[in-house]
Amino acid sequence: MNAPKSGYRVFSANSSVACTELAKKITERLGVELGKSVVFQESNRETRVDVKESVRGQTIFIIQTIPRDVNTAIMELLIMAYALKTSCAKNIIGVIPYFPYSKQCKMRKRGSIVSKLLASMLAKAGLTHIITMDLHQKEIQGFFTFPVDNLRASPFLIQYIQEEIPDYRNAIIVAKSPSAAKRAQSYAERLRLGLAVIHGEAQCSESDMADGRHSPPCVRNTTGHTGLELPLMMAKEKPPITVVGDVGGRIAIIVDDIIDDVGDFVAAAEILKERGAYKIYIMATHGLLSADAPRLIEESAIDEVVVTNTVPHEVQKLQCPKIKTVDVSMILAEAIRRIHNGESMAYLFRNIAVDD
């Protein structure tokens, strides 16, 4: 039982049943019961949270998985955290395996750094610590005013490669763009495999507008000082699609942190098939698989997509049998246990380098 003497409670802030599956697996591993609470949507779509047991003086862990309705999940987490704060919980620790808005962590023209805004909102709501997994950019940890443990899913995905992919020694790790090369290199070095990088038109254009340097208006102000002539930055032009590395007669394993819009992955798989790869695997931590991703995967040259259960995707698996799941509840449960007992987290980061 999740008894008061344990000194901590585990709650789920999700209102949908599908999103509580990971929370149930974590509590089973911890040998505790999920805290009693009700999270639901009013008829006017407002979120309401009702905590059904005393949390005074307790350390509370809120497990929040992020479904397709991202904004509702964020509000559920914020309201749950604030409810626990006003109920005199001692510490409130968020377990957010997939941190939403993590791709919006850089200034884009006149946009905003939304992940920094979300970090401030979580702190204001009462969170004192966060456990997450494979942040899109590790620098996001600097947006928080409290500790962040950024766990890694790569040991579980590497184990899957070794145990579930026949003849993986004949594989090559592929980065679908130069920006993903560091992650791919980490996998390649650990598996003692070769590395290939796809460069050209298929790569993601995210870096093209990564900061605010294009913010000033293009029209020159003729009323001011006209004597200063700044050099003009040449426009970027992507080279023709190329694959750096030999994939002929090999198993190609594309690795990334998030698979959402699968267009780039499908295009990369077609290129690798043309270059002679006879099997294509996709390995990613967070399987968002939005829109018609399952159909595109099923119709593509991709043989298998392997993701973890940081994001619920059971519906997508029913639509596409190529999608496989790796359970990471073990490491999340161990992180909760170690934080509660005041033990070092270093064990969970064994052999993790700065660039991983």
Give pLDDT, residue 221.
52
Q: Are residues 197 and 177 in the same domain?
A: yes
SS3 162: helix
Is the domain of 252 the same as that of 118? no
Same domain? 140 vs 264: no
pLDDT tens digits for range 45-60: 999 999 999 999 999 9
Q: What is the CATH number of the domain that holds 57?
A: 3.40.50.2020
Q: Say how many Å lie between the first and final Cα of the chain, rounded.
A: 38
Predicted TM-score (pTM) of this structure: 0.88
Report yes or no: 263 and 298 within 8 Å, Cβ to Cβ.
no
Taking residue 100's Cβ as centre, other Cβ atoms within 10 Å add up to 19
One domain, residues 42 and 170: no
Q: What is the total count of domains within the chain?
A: 2
In a domain? residue 207? no
Q: Show Cβ contacts of residue 70 under 8 Å, excluding neighbours closer than 6 positions.
A: 100, 101
C-beta of residue 330 within 8 angstroms of C-beta of residue 294: no
Beta-bridge partner residues of 172? 194, 252
Which pLDDT belongs to residue 218? 54
Of 151, 167, 183, the residue that ends a domain is 151
Is residue 98 included in any domain, yes or no? yes
Per cent of the chain over pLDDT 70 is 90
Domain contains 260? yes
Hey, which bits of 18-58 come out as E strands?
A: 37-41, 47-51
Q: Which amino acid is at 188?
A: A
Q: Do residues 13 and 76 touch, judged by C-beta distance below 8 A?
A: yes
Give the model confidence (pLDDT) of 239-282 as tens digits: 888 899 999 999 999 999 999 989 999 999 999 999 999 999 99
Give the ranges where 192-343 is alpha helix by DSSP (H). Answer: 263-274, 293-299, 314-319, 329-341
**Residues 174 and 317 reside in one and the same domain:** yes
pLDDT at 214 over 90: no
For residues 165 and 139, membership in a common domain is answered with no
196 close to 247: Cβ distance less than 8 angstroms: yes
Q: Are residues 144 and 171 in the same domain?
A: no
Q: Within 144-180, where are the H helices?
A: 154-164
* Residues 170 and 257 both lie in one domain: yes
- Residue 209 domain flag: no
* Residue 33 counted as domain residue: yes
Q: Please tell me whether residues 139 and 46 are part of one structural domain.
A: yes
DSSP per residue, 185-222: HHHHHHHT-EEEEEESTTS--GGGG-SSTT-S-SS--T
Q: Which of 162-176, 186-200, 341-355 has the lowest mean pLDDT?
A: 341-355
| Residue 213 lies inside a defined structural domain of this protein | no
Asked if residue 131 lies in contact with residue 115, where contact means CB atoms within 8 angstroms, the answer is no
Token pair listed for 251: 């198993």
Q: Are residues 39 and 172 in the same domain?
A: no
Half-sphere exposure of 178 (CA within 13 A, CB side): 12
User: Is 159 found in the same domain as 145?
Assistant: no
Q: Is residue 296 part of a domain?
A: yes
**Domain that includes residue 300, residue range:** 155-202+240-326
Q: What are the angstrom distances between the C-alpha of 191 and each of 138, 168, 175, 185, 243?
A: 23, 9, 15, 10, 21
Judgement on whether residues 312 and 255 belong to the same structural domain of the protein:
yes
Q: Is the residue at 217 inside a domain?
A: no
By the 8 A CB rule, do 316 and 287 touch?
yes
Query: Sign of the C-alpha dihedral, residues 118, 120, 122, 124?
Result: negative
- Tens of pLDDT, residue by residue over 3-24, are 445 579 999 998 788 789 999 9
| Dist CA 118 CA 143 (whole Å) | 9
- Measuring CA to CA, which residue among 318, 350, 313 is closest to residue 331? 350
- Strands 251-259 and 242-244, sheet pairing: unpaired
